[in-house]
Amino acid sequence: MNASLHAPFSAAAPALVDPFGRAVSYVRVSVTDRCDFRCVYCMSEHMQFLPRQDLLTLEELDRLCSAFIARGTRKLRITGGEPLVRHGVMSLFEGLSRHLDSGALEELTLTTNGSQLARFAAQLADCGVRRINLSLDTLDPEKFRAVTRTGDLSRVLAGMDAALKAGIAVKLNAVALRGVNDEEYVRLVRFAHERGMDMTFIEVMPLGELEGLARIDQFMPLSEVRARLSEAFTLEEIDYRTGGPARYMRAKETGGRIGFITPLTHNFCESCNRVRVTCTGTLYMCLGQEDSADLRAPLREGPSDEALYAAIDAAIARKPKGHDFIIDRAAQAPAVPRHMSTTGG
């Protein structure tokens, strides 16, 4: 492994606080825009992925993450695309684990589609990953293939089992899709809770153009999901947070937690402590806005991190109060043109 991944980082600088007094302590970093699935709500079937030479190297990703950690980031989520398809990505997890060992970082985690988990679960656990988000929109193999266009449900479930066996807590994420999985919400909750996993539902987001699809036809407000779940479970309000945007309830009958992420019907901007960095080093201060900052150029200026810190400071000073996602018949165009896989999950 490249020794630079284990090099100590320079002295800490002041923590990051945005113009609205929110401390930025949670950074989601994409390591690739590539994915082995082509989920119908996420990307086009015939995606044009970035040239590999445009991506930050694993050493640059380590240095970038370390800069944010030195500025007060306590939670770091590795995303994609599908992060585990990035060649050599485990060396990044191994390098970043030093921040867990030192106590500078509270949590290192990832979001995955599960296709590669059976291969990497044990290694992830060895690197200090204690919790992951696994995307699982349906338990029906044929629907799963249709939604992902290429995915194999049995392979994802094998990866889920491998993660649980390795001692990693798994949270299932399902995008609520009208006419696709709207009869499975109760089944998904029971499936998750029987295995000791949380279950979170997410409203479809208007990011990126889709071929021949209108998101208004996919969209189901989570108020409807909650109403359906209430027919099967007694839902209790609980004060539980993971640092992300989900609001949680407990199903009294199972004792398990159910999360709701509602970027459209009830946005979560007032407490936003998150920013996203793409695999090319573009920092987005808000998922639903186009304003961004280039961190790749200061990364490549030289060994000093002074320019990188300055670029991060300037970007956080422009972090907006919130996004304005809209899905309706009059607004068919996506809120932003980039796909979720480009921004990072």
- Which of 129, 221, 125 lies closest to 165, judged by CA? 125
Residue with tokens 């402590």: 273
Task: Provide the annotated binding site for S-adenosyl-L-methionine.
Answer: 41, 81, 135, 205
DSSP secondary structure letter of residue 81 = S
Chain-centroid distance, C-alpha 20: 23
- Give the full edge-to-edge strand order of the sheet including 292-294: 235-237, 247-251, 257-261, 198-203, 169-176, 131-135, 107-112, 75-79, 26-30, 274-277, 282-284, 292-294
Task: Provide the annotated binding site for GTP.
Answer: 28, 77, 111, 171, 274-276
* Structure token pair of residue 200: 């979170």
Contact (CB, 8 A) for 16 and 72 = yes
* Structure token pair of residue 14: 């002041």
Task: Provide the annotated binding site.
Answer: 28, 35, 39, 41-42, 77, 81, 111, 135, 171, 205, 269, 272, 274-276, 286
Task: Provide the annotated binding site for [4Fe-4S] cluster.
Answer: 35, 39, 42, 269, 272, 286
Contact (CB, 8 A) for 152 and 114 = no
* Structure token pair of residue 331: 């607004």
